[in-house]
Structures are given as structure tokens and as C-alpha cells.
Structure 1
């Protein structure tokens, strides 16, 4: 099963679904992280281009730790907007990589980039299979979209992935985002649930693990239930 994670910022995949990505990569699946932006608003006392270059390098290193590939889609941090043109751009990304499953942000999220990314991916998932929607690549029909979310939102997981064997890998990937580890500690407040990236994500994985009967877990909400679930 090939996976495509479409995330707003360079550290989002590692924080929210890094264990799942590492688990599938270790199984031999093709796993790609597509970053909508280069995260150029995520820093202090420097230029956007400098921050973007740092975060792109960190994300590339983190992807290597997880065992997956990564790409950057060229949207502007803090300025992702919903439009037909942008939806078509995501349709092309889905068609290009031909994933069986797409992972992305849950719709209820404080960050506007997360919310808009969720909406674009959800709608592009549907449009990607339609032959008359023209992009450079051929139509593709992924099996499903799975959403990940913040513990501070209304996010209520329905699917649990046991990442006990990959929690350490996930943490090593998060640690590659050195600029964000320090930025979020100083930022506080708004992203308070992630003041300490490693400790916070480990605690969340442990809480979800308690619900699912495992040591460490990542949770997801599927866009739709497979038909077989209704026929059993």
C-alpha cells in the first residue's frame, strides 16, 4: 500500500503521522510526504527565505529518518487559499504519485493552513479520478483519505495505528526539526500543546495507546468507510 501525506508545513508529517509513515516505509511501501509550504513564517529575527531554506533541509533529513521521500509544492506559508486552481494543483499531485491512501490534516484545526489543506485534499481526492478533469498526469482513484488532528480540536480517532516499534524513529525525525523545537518553545500559547515537540507527541501517542490497547498509537479519521463495512 503506497502512502502520500499532504501536509501544510515541514514538521507536520513527523508530528502527526511519522510513526505510521515509518511503519509503512519499513514494510517496503512507497511513502511520500508532500509539503504544501516551506514553513517560512516559523521563526524569529531572520528572513522568510532563510527560514524556508532551514526548514526544507530539516524536513529532508527527517524524511530520510522515516525512510520516505519528500517534495515541496510551493504554496506560501500562512497564505494557502482555497481556489479551483489550487485544487487542480493537488489533483495533479495525487495523480502523479498514485497513492493507495492519502493522509492529511483534520478539518477542525486552529491553523488556517491546516484547515485549507484539509479542504483542498478532500476535494482533490474526489476530482483526481475524473477523466475530464485535465492535468498533466492520468486520472487516479485512491482508496481513501485519512485525517490526523490535534488533541485540542474536536478530532476523535476511529482508526488506530500501533507505532510502538516506530515511536523512537518518529522522535528522531522530529528532532531533525531543530529550528521548530526551539521556535515552539518560545512561541508558547497558540501552539502550547506542542511546547516540547518530542515530549508532547510521545504523551499524545501514549494516551491514544491507552484507548487502543497498545503502548504508542497514532489516530486517524477516514473520509469514508469501505463498502465491505456495511455489508458484513
Structure 2
């Protein structure tokens, strides 16, 4: 699997899908985090580099402005270059109903980028589109209702590694995030029949079926 996480902010991948990224990195899969905001030179960028090192992933930054991510042509062009360079077959991104405006904009930006990247070469073969999974959000609540995942990734065995990656973001409100993520992953674990799990929602973008390797192995 070539797995890419397209996230708005430097700590989003670790919080919402870090367990899945760690598991795939440990399986030898290529894993990249594309963070839309900040640069590697910024404080938050340096924290993200350390977190990615702890997860075994690579990370890049598009340098868009925090709290001002927009679905613009320039942003789409930047994301297309990232997707073209990595050629993912599976992408994790924010949920389309996420209350955070940067998260919602990231989803819309990715959707348009995927269309421009793959449509011309895939109109007769939808399987060439990457699979898209949406990750959880704050307290699993969106603008129009709760987040209802249809896929779960058991993160019990690598839980401490996920927490270590989140803890690399020293400038963020860690107590808030760690408490919320613990509660959410325990709840998802109960649904999945394990101790802790991350929840995901498969998005059949343009009719793309989920016929690839299971997320999380």
C-alpha cells in the first residue's frame, strides 16, 4: 500500500489517524503525511518532523496559512504536485462534515485535486482513483450529526507509539487532545471488539469501490 494522509495542520495526522499510519509503516508500506499548513522551519513544522520520525513516516508541508485554508486553484496545484510525486493508492483525509473550517476546506481541496489528477486517465477505469477514507473529528461530532465510521483499525498494540507522536507537539493543548482521543478510541474499540481503535468512513469518490487491502492490515 502507498498510504497518504492529507491533513490541515501538523498534529492532525497523529491525532486522527496516527495509529493506522504507524501500523502501515511497520508493515513496510510507504506512508506520507501531507500537511497543508506551516513549513518545516516553523515551530509546529519541527514538531511534526519529530512526530513523523516517531511514527516512521515521511512528512511534507504545503505552507498554507493556518485558520485560512481555502479551496483555491493555487492550493489545488500544490496538492496535485504532492499527489503526483507520491502516487498513493489510499488516502486518509478529514471528514467532509467536520466543523473545523480548515478541515472541511482540506476535504474539498483534496476532492478537486483527485478529480484533476486522475479523471482524464481514469474515466474508463475508476480503479485508478485512490481509495479515500475520512477520519474522525472533535468528539466525533460534525455539522449535521455524529461521525459514523464503517471501518475500524485496531490500535491497541501501538497505542503508546501514537501517544508519543502526539506528545511531540509540545506547543498544543495536549491534555485536551489526549483525553478526547482516549475516549474516542475506547468507544471505537468497543464497536470493533478490541480495546482501542481508530474509526474511518470509506468515501466511494466518483464510485470508486473499496477493493484494496484493508486499512490497518
TM-score, normalised with respect to structure 1: 0.79
User: In the alignment, which of 140, 147, 163 is matched to residue 134 of structure 2?
Assistant: 147
What residue is the counterpart of 1:114 in the other structure?
103
Contact 1:34–1:71 under 8 Å retained in 2: yes
Mapped partners of 2:185, 2:72: distance in 1: 34
Contact 1:125–1:145 under 8 Å retained in 2: no
Deviation at 1:152, TM superposition (A): 2.2
Mapped partners of 1:228, 1:29: distance in 2: 17
Range 109-118 or range 10-19, more displaced: 109-118
User: In the alignment, which of 80, 87, 91 is matched to residue 102 of structure 1?
Assistant: 91
TM-score, normalised with respect to structure 2: 0.84
SS at match of 2:199: strand
Assess, with a 3 A threshold, how the Cα gap between structure 1 residues 170 and 208 changes in structure 2: closer, same or farther: same
Question: Are residues 1:5 and 2:20 paired?
Answer: no
User: In the alignment, which of 164, 185, 190 is matched to residue 210 of structure 1?
Assistant: 190
What residue is the counterpart of 2:172 in the other structure?
180
Deviation at 1:98, TM superposition (A): 0.6
Deviations 1:38-57 (Å, cap 9, x if unpaired)?
A: 29xxxxxxxxxxxx721111
Deviation at 1:181, TM superposition (A): 2.8
Deviation at 1:107, TM superposition (A): 1.2
Mapped partners of 1:95, 1:54: distance in 2: 28
RMSD of aligned Cα (Å): 2.1
Larger Rg: 1
Contact 2:202–2:210 under 8 Å retained in 1: no
Question: Are residues 1:220 and 2:200 paired?
Answer: yes
Unaligned runs of 5+ in 2: 122-126, 213-217
Unaligned runs of 5+ in 1: 40-51, 133-139, 183-194
What residue is the counterpart of 1:49 in the other structure?
none
Question: Are residues 1:158 and 2:150 paired?
Answer: yes
Aligned residues: 198
Question: Are residues 1:34 and 2:34 paired?
Answer: yes
Mapped partners of 1:209, 1:122: distance in 2: 29
What residue is the counterpart of 1:42 in the other structure?
none
Mapped partners of 1:20, 1:77: distance in 2: 25
Q: Which has the higher strand share?
A: 2
Mapped partners of 1:203, 1:13: distance in 2: 17
After the TM superposition, list the runs of 4 or more consecutive aligned residues in structure 1 that deviate by more than 6 angstroms: none
Mapped partners of 1:54, 1:228: distance in 2: 39
